[in-house]
Amino acid sequence: MRIINDMKIHFKRGIACFLAAGTLFAGGCGRAQYDMPYTVNSDVSGFRIVDTREENSTAVPFAADLCVVSSDINVNAVDMSKASGAALFDINNKNTIYAKNVHEKLYPASLTKIMTALVAMKHGSAEMMLTASGNVTNLESGATTCGLKEGDQMTLSQALHVLLINSANDAAVMIAEGIAGSIDAFADMMNEEAMALGATNTHFVNPHGLSDDNHYTTVYDMYLITNEAIKYDMFNEIIHMPEYTTAYNDKNGNSRELTVGSTNYYMQGTASAPTGVTVLGGKTGTTSAAKSCLVLVSKDTANNPYISIILRAETRDDLYSQMTELLGEINN
């Protein structure tokens, strides 16, 4: 009887193991499931597995169409000693040409506004009318603004132009509140989008990038965010503009003309890319905590696109000299 009971126990354990294995590989009706943890506490950005739901389900890596990097690459190729993190990505070939500390959490400053624009373009329309609240003037001293006042109105398209070209923090507040109702709610949307993109080492608490201990990103996560943003024609058009002039209405319906210039030295003509490289646009970021930051979208003579990123350069001069040197790797 003891032998029979032991056999029954082993049989039940075997059935349990078989059923457990079945839950791992089959989610019902032939749909495959894959045990691939997706965590926000990883040293590198997370990756997802997508079920194609075809007859023979196939795992499609989240990063199949992305540049992937887990460690430094060609760190001696350029002098990046005065920057905390940097990278150069060949978009079409899905190749990381250069990488330094790409998964280190750093302050993004106004590079944050790339995500602000992405969320706004995804959830709003160009002609959507925005109205400024009193919060547009509730910013830290010295913050860049375009001079918005409570009751001022402009379209989302106008606000995005001012946001990305001039890096206006008051425009960021107006966009966030117009899209989500509040800055906190918009920050939640930003973080949801970051997770969806695999930018798991990123966390936002505001739409403008003014410093906060809980507001951070990485070089690689900024690549993921920018790579998504350039899928929108409006974004590409805006970041390429050296200047923008528009008119909006104040709370009394009076028309106000506004002209803003790009904060990007390459768009201003103050900095020049290496021969054979054309800078299509980008976004700057500067705070005392983040120091000088820059994301660029460029192309080579064959019109192949590249994304280059530098975070926490010591000075603005260091930022542009190092970025120009980094762009030189495109033709090497």
* Catalytically annotated residues: 110, 113, 167
- Which strand (E) or helix (H) includes residue 130? strand 129-131
HSE-up (13 A, CA, CB side) for residue 26 = 9
> 208, exposed or middle or buried, with CB in 10 Å at 0-12, 13-18, 19+?
buried
Q: In the structure encoding, which two tokens stand for residue 300, read together?
A: 């080579």
C-alpha 116/C-alpha 160 separation (Å) is 9
Phi-psi region of 288 (alpha: psi -120 to 50; beta: other; left: phi over 0): alpha
Query: DSSP string spanning 256-322?
Result: EEEEEE-S-HHHHTSS-PPTT-EEEEEEEEEETTTEEEEEEEEE-TT--EEEEEEEEESSHHHHHHH
Cα angle 325, 327, 332; round to 5? 90
- The residues with which 293 forms a beta bridge, in sequence order, are 285
Q: In the structure encoding, which two tokens stand for residue 297, read together?
A: 């979208």
- Which strand (E) or helix (H) includes residue 124? none
C-alpha 86/C-alpha 100 separation (Å) is 5
